[in-house]
Amino acid sequence: MNLVGEKGVQRIFQIIAFSSIAALALIALFILAEGLPFILHYGPGQFLLSSDWQPQQGRFGIFPMMVASLWVTLGAMLIGAPLGVAGAVFLTEFCPRPVMRAVKPTIELLAGIPSVVYGFIGVMVLAPLIRAQWGGPGLSVLAGAIILGIMILPTVMSISIDALLAVPQSYREGSLALGATVWQTTRMVTLVAARSGIAASIILAMGRAVGETMAVIMVAGNAVKIPLSPLDSVRTMTANIALEMSYATGIHRQALFATGVVLFLMIMVLNTIASRVMRRAGR
């Protein structure tokens, strides 16, 4: 009976695992079936490299939105990644463990705050501040990057803390015994040993930043143009899909699904890289 029960539980877990894979496959097939024919018909070069997005006139170029997505994501990573890693280093290496155990769950709670709340704060506080200090409309690449940088902090910090805590204590003790300071030990031993886990946290946070929608809609300005300055208003690919899908029909709707295909492939590439880095860290 115990053997039968064990096999039954194993099969249940197998079904659950394969159902998750099947759900991902169905989502991918649905997006590809809806968007790939449009890309092939309209032309990959014209669709990806054209700067003219005018659905009413049958023009569908997503190059400005691709550039905007990359700008906002890069800005978010420049803000969120260093702050997240620095916070993780401070909590694990220079902060008393009881304090770290109390602060870490609080940081992770930030991931549960709805993105619309971040967007609301960006519209009411951040955008007017940017407009008053540096000019421009306020709703811009800079505003989007700052908001996304704050939103990805919990991801970077949480995974980086776990990676740093996984470094054997003997590494630190050996370095300190050789005469190194705590900072030298942290910089040349602990961070080096945990670099794979830290890299995985940054890549996963990048995937979150690329796919974010609501906060970016509220703070980026939604202007379909190639940004020439961090103070320019932009529209990302996710924002474009969310704004226009409610009324899009026919070829316009297919173009939005094709935008989803491009976004889906970008996120899949990032997740694949993250999985390989995490697998290497496990070994």
Residue 12 domain flag: no
- The pTM assigned to this predicted structure is 0.85
| Percent of the chain whose predicted confidence (pLDDT) is above 90 | 29
Residue 26 domain flag: no
Residue 260 domain flag: yes
Select, from the ranges 10-19, 66-75, 205-214, the one with the highest average predicted confidence (pLDDT).
66-75
Q: In terms of pLDDT, which residue wins out, 204 or 126? A: 126
Residue 1 domain flag: no
Residue 20 domain flag: no
| pLDDT at residue number 4 | 54
**220-242 b/e with 16+ CB inside 10 Å = b?**
bbbebbebeebbbbbbbbbbbbe
Residue 172 domain flag: yes
Residue 184 domain flag: yes
| Domain, as residue range, for 276 | 47-282
| pLDDT-derived band at 282, boundaries 50, 70, 90 | low
CATH number of the domain at 188, please.
Answer: 1.10.3720.10
Segment 225-254 shows an average pLDDT of 89
Q: How many domains, in total, are found in the chain?
A: 1
State whether residue 117 is helix, strand or coil.
helix
| pLDDT-derived band at 280, boundaries 50, 70, 90 | low
Q: What is the mean pLDDT of the chain?
A: 87
Residue 153 domain flag: yes
Q: How far apart are CA 264 and CA 248, in angstroms?
A: 20
Beta bridge partners of 54: 59
